[in-house]
Amino acid sequence: MNNQDTYTETEGGGQSEELAVTPEEQSEEFLSPQEEQGELLAAADKEQGGPNDYLRLSRLGKMGYKLKRFFLGIPHWFAQLGRDIWRGLRSFGLRIAACFRDIFMTFKTGSWKTRVSYLVMGFHNLFAKQWLRGLLFLLFEGVFIVYMALWGGAWLSKFGTLGTVATHTEEVLLPELGEYVERQIIGDNSFKILLYGLITIFFIAAFLYTWYLNVKQSRLLDEIERSGRKVQGSKDDLRAVVDKQFHKTLLALPVFGIVMFTILPIVFMILVAFTNYDSMHDGYVNLFTWVGLDNFNSLFAFGSEVSVAFGEILAWTLIWAFFATFSNYFLGMFVAMMINKKGIRVKKVWRTILVMTIAIPQFISLLYVSNLFAHNGIINGLLMKLGWIKSPIPFWENGTLARIMVLVINIWVGIPYLMLITTGILMNIPQDLYESAKIDGANAFQQFCKITLPYMLFVTGPYLLTSFVSNINNFNVIYLLTQGGPINPAWGDFSGAKAGETSILITWLFDITNSAADYKLASVIGIMIFVVVSVLSLVVFYIMPSNKREDDYS
Amino acid sequence: MSEQENIVEFEEISIEAPERAFDIEAPSAPVSDTPLAEARERTQASVKKTHMSQKTKNAITNTIIHIVLVVMCFVWILPFIGIVLESFRCESTGLAGYIFPQKWGFTNYVRLFKETDFPHWFLNTLIMGVIVAIVQTVFVLMVAYALSRHRFKGRKFLMNLMLVFGMFPGFLTLILLYTWMHDWNMTDLNALWGLILIYTASSGMGYYIAKGFFDTISHSLDEAARVDGATRLQIFYKIIMPLSKPIIIYTILMGFMGPWGDFVMATFMAHNAHAGYNVAAGLQWLLTDSMKNEYYTTFCAGGVVVALPITILFLLLQKYYVAGVTGGAVKG
């Protein structure tokens, strides 16, 4: 069984890969990593003496062989990653260059109408009686010029310094009174300069793109005029909005929302990581300014309080995510199998009771559970009444105990969810596999290891990754149970945001934002969370071929 | 309720292999003293023996599993029983070391509605839930449909963009969003509107599950409709939408339940104006250190009032939730 497994896995994986590839993706770039990996593995095979020898290896030898293949793959992933990044950058650069060439050539070869369009957007469209497009282009240009003249230019000019004059009081000589009077002078606001400067940059980018579109449209009109075809009118344009270009209609508003409320704020906060914005520099009375990489340096400065706390919290975050993900996964699957088993009565009752606990908002259940285990909570009260303990167990006061508690309670939270997910998949495993395994004399444990687990891991592999990532950012469970405590004094006190034993990066980030108002540090930590999450995702992406099959059904 | 019965019709199938594997009847041979026949007889006997022991073993395992399940369900449900019991406690308002109240009554519920801003919180959350459910569903369906059915330039780029920005922790943007909303007078007592804007504006990013669903709807339907001269808009609302009832209900359910559970954004946006909270922020506030001794049982009462309608709604629509979650997990 085992030996066959390995080979069907590699071969079967490759096969399904090719089956799933759509013509769109069937480019050389897509297939090459598989081929290269294949070569590498073939080399490894040769070292072992070919695949036939594998069957003769002992159990330990087989494991060693698998491990070796796994580790041999690692440099390959990184090489692949590097190549992909390089390829992406190069194609981006080439595209930009092509853009410029395009613009230049169009100007050189285009008609006079096209050349006017370079200055007056939409001129050619209006000339060709494409009223709708032409007016929209012209309107956009007008709005842009007015905005830049009135506000955009001012914001942008201060963007480099983030303001020079703070709001302050000054003694001003009032001539009519003949004496000095204190008066508040409203100065710059670094926060606003950063924000509106950024918005202006986004706007300029949008303008440049629209301008490029305008140039392309003009050239298209040139071509149409030359060939003598009919120009598409406004009526056709309107029809395209619900038909040919329907995707643009659909995406316009949601994407605008995403740009304004996700991308812009995140880019803003990335920029904040390079400033000294915190409670001491509020950007109003005390302006903040660019500081380069200072914040990153202080986070990585060896031995400083912040760096120690960061290291410890990062380590615990990863441990937490690992145990939280896998304990839930296996126990949830186990519960699902128990309920699925033949001969278990009232299956629906068990399922409904477990599912019900998903419905109840976490802030209610977790806050209650947190108090259940509190110093004077019900559990301690009950145990003391029974006489099992003399003094209350410090569930939340002892660091190690608190860590175990959050993991255990997270199992309580996660099992119903995993039970739901796995039940359906477990049902899909072909039953004849189990039958034949049973005839071969496999016991329940062997059946689980050789049939259930490989199948489940194959199907739910991507889910495991997302679940790991969401556990790294599992704010609710940690914050509602312990608020990150018990506080570890050795990790320092960042103007009010204390790092605790159960703090994970995301709860720490929240405390730093909320109680310490140390926005620069929060931004740096946010970026670090992004780095951790994206590196993990990339690694898994390069290990798991199944992740690449996006167009599975289409 | 009848629909609910369809959710999980797993009863019929089981992981256990049918026992008939062991019931293969050996061809009846006259008993003779040839060694072959003797051996056959012995095998038959041993098969029967294993069969018997297998059955008893099964019974024992099943009993154990039943016991485990009962204990498990008890553990899972205990906190909720605890909340209900403590919400009826009248003799004290703080934490108590016992679960059964000594004096029963509705004092806590009365206090919840009279002494705290709970009616405001509840109304805020209800309004948010309804609006967010509608807008979010529309956005998600639009994005998911466009990405699933249309192949256009920049599609991959857009998907990667959403993936990458989805990896940043959302809390990062708290301070900017607060300042921004503050400028538009949508914080503090008006936090409701600011929160609605924040929840809905980028809700298109949660398109994955709906896209996975659309991907499974056959393209031949679209093609047939196009041959008949339907525009893409018509295909969207006349063909795809009616087929997507489960995923639409799932998205609505998720959109509606979101605001009930979010306390971070709500606390931050309402700042110190307690009447602007939603239920989560408000009830959590009742458990802060300075309030806990006086309002702990009130929190329990609030928890019951919030959890009851949500749980009932959830159980009614359970089928759709299961479909959405399972589909999402398998698609990844």
Cα(A381)–Cα(A393) distance, integer angstroms = 10
Q: How far is CA A306 from CA A155, B167, B226, in A?
A: 34, 23, 61
Check whether residue A474 and residue A332 sit in a common domain: yes
Judge whether residue A466 has pLDDT over 90: no
What is the average per-residue pLDDT within A187-212? 90
**Residue A53, Cα to own-chain centre: how many angstroms?**
43
CATH number, domain at A532? 1.10.3720.10
Which ranges constitute the DSSP H helices of A244-304? 246-258, 264-272, 294-300
The helix (H) or strand (E) run that includes residue A180 is strand A179-185
Which residue, of A253, A270, A292, is where some domain finishes? Answer: A292
Cα(A379)–Cα(A393) distance, integer angstroms = 9
Which residues of chain A lie closer than 8 angstroms to B179, CB-CB?
191, 195
Which residue, of A246, A277, A292, is where some domain finishes? Answer: A292
- The string of DSSP codes covering B148-180 is HH---TTHHHHHHHHHHHHTS-GGGGHHHHHHH
pLDDT at residue B46 in the model: 59
pLDDT at residue B38 in the model: 67
Is residue A549 a part of any domain in this protein?
no
Probe site for chain A from B72, B168, B182, B253 (most A CB atoms < 10 A): B168
Nearest Cα to A167, choosing from A149, A188, A183? Answer: A188
Quick one: closest CA in A to B161, which residue? A263
Is residue A551 a part of any domain in this protein?
no
Sign of CA dihedral A56, A60, A64, A70: positive
Q: Which of B73, B161, B167 sits opposite A350 (nearest CB)?
A: B73
Cα(A484)–Cα(A462) distance, integer angstroms = 29
Q: Angle CA(A444)–CA(A450)–CA(A456) in degrees, nearest 5? A: 100
Which residues of chain B lie closer than 8 angstroms to A554, CB-CB?
148, 215, 219
Asked if the C-beta of B82 comes within 8 angstroms of chain A's C-beta atoms, the answer is yes
Percent pLDDT > 70 in chain A is 86
Nearest Cα to B62, choosing from A519, A444, A522, A441? Answer: A444
Report B:167-206 residues touching A (Cβ under 8 A). Answer: 167-169, 171-177, 179-180, 197-198, 200-205
Establish whether the linkage from the previous residue to A486 is cis, with ω within 30° of 0.
Answer: yes
Cα(A539)–Cα(A199) distance, integer angstroms = 34
Whether residues B79 and A368 touch (CB distance < 8 A) is answered with: yes
Total domains in the fold of chain A: 3
Residue B279 near residue B165 (C-beta atoms within 8 A)? no
B104: which strand partners?
B89
Check whether residue A418 and residue A468 sit in a common domain: yes
Cα(B89)–Cα(A385) distance, integer angstroms = 19
- Give the pLDDT confidence of B124-182 residue by residue, as tens digits: 999 999 999 999 999 999 999 999 888 888 888 898 888 888 888 888 888 888 888 88
Which residues of chain B lie closer than 8 angstroms to A546, CB-CB?
332
Asked if the C-beta of A543 comes within 8 angstroms of chain B's C-beta atoms, the answer is no
Which residues of chain A lie closer than 8 angstroms to B108, CB-CB?
none
Which residues of chain A lie closer than 8 angstroms to B291, CB-CB?
none
Q: Which ipTM value was assigned to this complex?
A: 0.80
Q: How far is CA A315 from CA A311, A339, A370, A503, B202, in A?
A: 6, 36, 24, 11, 31
Residue B264 near residue A475 (C-beta atoms within 8 A)? yes
Side chain identity, residue A59: R
Percent pLDDT > 90 in chain B is 17
Whether residues B332 and A417 touch (CB distance < 8 A) is answered with: no
How many angstroms separate the CA of residue A64 from the nearest CA in chain B?
A: 30
Cα(A163)–Cα(B84) distance, integer angstroms = 56
Which residue, of A277, A292, A307, is where some domain finishes? Answer: A292
Q: Which of A341, A361, A460 sits opposite B329 (nearest CB)?
A: A460
Is residue A550 a part of any domain in this protein?
no
Which structure tokens are listed for B10? 């797993």
* CB neighbourhood size of B156 (10 A): 14
What confidence tier does A279 reach under pLDDT thresholds 50, 70, 90?
Answer: confident
How many angstroms separate the CA of residue B232 from the nearest CA in chain A?
A: 5
What confidence tier does A3 reach under pLDDT thresholds 50, 70, 90?
Answer: very low
Query: How many Cα atoms are found within 13 Å in the side-chain-facing hemisphere of A413?
Result: 26
Whether residues B172 and A352 touch (CB distance < 8 A) is answered with: no
Quick one: closest CA in B to A554, which residue? B215
Averaging pLDDT over each range in A360-364, A409-413, A483-487, which range is the top one? A409-413
Between B8 and A197, the more confident residue is A197
Which residues of chain B lie closer than 8 angstroms to A553, CB-CB?
215-216
Which structure tokens are listed for A169? 């009081």
Between A383 and B50, the more confident residue is A383
Cα(A222)–Cα(A110) distance, integer angstroms = 7
Residue A251 near residue A158 (C-beta atoms within 8 A)? no
pLDDT at residue A171 in the model: 78
Q: How far is CA A357 from CA A410, A417, B251, B252, B308, in A?
A: 13, 9, 20, 20, 12
pLDDT at residue B332 in the model: 41
Check whether residue A246 and residue A263 sit in a common domain: yes
Judge whether residue A28 has pLDDT over 50: no
Check whether residue A439 and residue A309 sit in a common domain: yes
Judge whether residue B85 has pLDDT over 80: yes
Which residues of chain B lie closer than 8 angstroms to A526, CB-CB?
168-169, 171-172
pLDDT at residue B39 in the model: 66
pLDDT at residue A445 in the model: 82
Summary mean pLDDT of chain A = 80
Q: How far apart are the first and last CA of chain B?
A: 30
- The string of DSSP codes covering B190-242 is GHHHHHHHHHHHTGGGG-HHHHHHHHHS-HHHHHHHHHTT--HHHIIIIIIHH
Q: Angle CA(A382)–CA(A386)–CA(A392) in degrees, nearest 5? A: 55
Pairing of strands A168-174, A493-494: unpaired
Averaging pLDDT over each range in A264-273, A461-470, A495-504, which range is the top one? A264-273
- The string of DSSP codes covering A225-257 is HHHTPPPP-HHHHHHHHHTTTHHHHHHHHHHHH
pLDDT at residue A53 in the model: 66
Probe site for chain A from B15, B102, B241, B318 (most A CB atoms < 10 A): B15
Cα(A234)–Cα(A132) distance, integer angstroms = 6
The helix (H) or strand (E) run that includes residue B260 is helix B245-261
Residue A141 near residue A120 (C-beta atoms within 8 A)? yes
pLDDT at residue B28 in the model: 45
Check whether residue A96 and residue A183 sit in a common domain: no
Residue B17 near residue B328 (C-beta atoms within 8 A)? no
Nearest Cα to A33, choosing from A459, A541, A554? Answer: A541
Cα(B171)–Cα(A84) distance, integer angstroms = 31
Residue B173 near residue B199 (C-beta atoms within 8 A)? no
b/e code A271-303 from CB counts within 10 Å (16+ = b): bbbbbbbbeebbbbeebbbeeeeebeeebeeee
Sorted by where each begins, the domain ranges of chain B are 16-78, 111-331
Nearest Cα to B279, choosing from B291, B268, B288, B267? Answer: B267
- Give the pLDDT confidence of B194-219 residue by residue, as tens digits: 999 999 998 988 888 888 888 888 88
* CB neighbourhood size of A106 (10 A): 19
Asked if the C-beta of B56 comes within 8 angstroms of chain A's C-beta atoms, the answer is no
Residue B250 near residue B232 (C-beta atoms within 8 A)? no
How many angstroms separate the CA of residue A452 from the nearest CA in chain B?
A: 10
Asked if the C-beta of B309 comes within 8 angstroms of chain A's C-beta atoms, the answer is no
Is residue A157 a part of any domain in this protein?
yes
Q: DSSP class of residue A489?
A: G
How many angstroms separate the CA of residue B37 from the nearest CA in chain A?
A: 23
pLDDT at residue A32 in the model: 43
pLDDT at residue B10 in the model: 40
Residue B124 near residue B278 (C-beta atoms within 8 A)? yes
Whether residues B200 and A257 touch (CB distance < 8 A) is answered with: yes
Probe site for chain B from A29, A213, A261 (most B CB atoms < 10 A): A261
Is residue A492 a part of any domain in this protein?
yes
Check whether residue A420 and residue A274 sit in a common domain: no
Asked if the C-beta of A475 comes within 8 angstroms of chain B's C-beta atoms, the answer is yes
Side chain identity, residue A121: M
pLDDT at residue A398 in the model: 83
pLDDT at residue A489 in the model: 72
Phi, psi torsion values for A172, nearest 5 degrees: -115, 135
Check whether residue A331 and residue A183 sit in a common domain: no
Judge whether residue A59 has pLDDT over 80: no
Contact residues for B27 (Cβ-Cβ < 8 A; gap 6+):
none
What is the average per-residue pLDDT within A164-180? 77
Count of CB pairs separated by less than 8 Å, A with B: 301
pLDDT at residue A25 in the model: 39
pLDDT at residue A149 in the model: 92
Whether residues A365 and B268 touch (CB distance < 8 A) is answered with: no
* Domain of residue A24, residue span: 2-108
Alpha-carbon dihedral angle through residues B232, B234, B236, B239, given to the nearest 10 degrees: -120
Q: How far is CA B135 from CA B129, B173, B195, B198, in A?
A: 10, 21, 13, 12
Phi, psi torsion values for B17, nearest 5 degrees: -75, 145
Asked if the C-beta of A189 comes within 8 angstroms of chain B's C-beta atoms, the answer is no
Cα(A291)–Cα(A394) distance, integer angstroms = 44
Q: Which of B95, B173, B263 sits opposite A266 (nearest CB)?
A: B173
What confidence tier does A257 reach under pLDDT thresholds 50, 70, 90?
Answer: very high
What is the average per-residue pLDDT within A10-34? 40
Check whether residue A93 and residue A122 sit in a common domain: no
What confidence tier does A519 reach under pLDDT thresholds 50, 70, 90?
Answer: confident
How many angstroms separate the CA of residue A464 from the nearest CA in chain B?
A: 9
CB-count burial class (<10 Å; 0-12, 13-18, 19+) for A394: middle
pLDDT at residue A200 in the model: 93
Tell me if residue A183 falls in helix, strand or coil.
strand
Cα(A411)–Cα(A418) distance, integer angstroms = 10
Tell me if residue A174 falls in helix, strand or coil.
strand
Is residue A389 a part of any domain in this protein?
yes
A174: which strand partners?
A179
Is residue A310 a part of any domain in this protein?
yes
Residue B147 near residue B211 (C-beta atoms within 8 A)? yes
What confidence tier does A553 reach under pLDDT thresholds 50, 70, 90?
Answer: very low
What confidence tier does A397 reach under pLDDT thresholds 50, 70, 90?
Answer: confident
Which structure tokens are listed for B302? 């609030």
Cα(A122)–Cα(A214) distance, integer angstroms = 6
Check whether residue A94 and residue A135 sit in a common domain: no
Phi, psi torsion values for B154, nearest 5 degrees: 90, 5
The helix (H) or strand (E) run that includes residue A184 is strand A179-185
- Give the pLDDT confidence of B99-110 residue by residue, as tens digits: 888 888 888 899
Judge whether residue B6 has pLDDT over 50: no
b/e code B175-197 from CB counts within 10 Å (16+ = b): bbbbebbeeeebbbebbbbbbbb
User: Looking at the domain B111-331, which fold is it?
Assistant: MetI-like fold (1.10.3720)
B89: which strand partners?
B104
Cα(A322)–Cα(A403) distance, integer angstroms = 13
Judge whether residue A43 has pLDDT over 70: no
How many angstroms separate the CA of residue A176 from the nearest CA in chain B?
A: 37
Judge whether residue A221 has pLDDT over 90: no
Check whether residue A103 and residue A125 sit in a common domain: no
Summary mean pLDDT of chain B = 81
Whether residues A469 and B167 touch (CB distance < 8 A) is answered with: yes
Whether residues B171 and A358 touch (CB distance < 8 A) is answered with: no
Is residue A42 a part of any domain in this protein?
yes
Q: Which of B73, B236, B284 sits opposite A367 (nearest CB)?
A: B284
How many angstroms separate the CA of residue A382 from the nearest CA in chain B?
A: 7
